[in-house]
Amino acid sequence: GGEEKPVTSSSVATASVNLTKNLVGAGIFSLPAALLRGSVIPGLMTMFFVGTVQASSFIMIAFLCQQFGCHTYRGVWSAVFGKRSGAIVDVAITVNGFFICVAYNILVADFLQKALEGLMGWEDAPRSLLIWINTLAITLPLSHARNLSPLRYTSMLGLAIIGFVFMYVLRDFAGSFVEAKPRLRAHGCRLDTGIFSTLALCTGAFQAHYNSPRIFKELGCNLEAHARTVVNSFGTAFLIYSSFA
């Protein structure tokens, strides 16, 4: 028979939605500070540059997976540096993932505390209880998911919520544009050391590279489909980031 083709378990549209949701998260709220420190025009140029570099590296990971016949970071690393060194990348991914989970648990606990206080009048909700509930009910099950395709509906819901917040911010901006115009002129275009803070904040906003091998595999190891997914997702993220910031 002919060459066996990898099974495709996700479409470009589904993968784009999931990847966009991974990119556009709570980090969006730090981007206005990024443009404040680096000014608007240089800040947007920096954001575009960082997004382009990050998107290129995202595709490069899939290209290496294709060249070496791998579907994981460990596989690519081992193919280049030898199997004995594979544990290094596993430790790095584990440590990185651990601190990401800790950061998100803290963030979710903050939001839950405010939501319970504002919606239900429950003041001084036990923070440790909220963290444990979030860890056991949300973080732990998601950490064991092998295929992200079933998350497309919650990803769409998450994007819709972010879209609502986005529109709310735009409406508030339009309503107070006259008052904000002097500040916009003051921070429109300048170049100083604040651009390095902008660079650091923007770099974190375009990071979801741990998903690249998985998305590449779900797309049937089709590099062209992977590249289209990356362009769709990173392009959408840049438009959302630049408008929101």
Q: What is the pLDDT along the chain (245 residues), one digit of tens a residue?
A: 444 455 455 688 888 888 887 887 766 767 777 777 777 888 889 889 999 999 999 999 999 989 988 888 788 888 888 888 888 888 888 888 888 788 778 878 888 888 888 888 777 778 888 888 888 888 888 888 777 677 777 777 877 887 787 788 778 877 777 777 777 676 677 777 878 888 888 888 888 887 888 888 888 888 999 999 999 999 988 888 887 76
Helix (H, G, I), strand (E, B) or coil at 122: coil
Query: Angle, to 10 degrees, between the axis of helix 40-68 and the axis of helix 73-81?
Result: 70
Phi, psi of 219 (to 5 degrees): -90, 15
In this prediction the pTM is: 0.69
| Paired tokens of 136 | 């056991």
8 A C-beta contact, residue 214 and residue 15: no
47 Cβ neighbours under 8 A, 6+ residues apart: 31, 34, 198, 202, 205, 238, 241, 242, 245
Q: Which has the closest alpha carbon to 235: 214, 206, 209, 212?
A: 206
The domain segmentation of the chain, as residue ranges, is 12-146+178-243
The DSSP line for 151-209 is GHHHHHHHHHHHHHHHHHHHHHHHHTHHHHHHHHHHTSS--STHHHHHHHHHHHHT--G
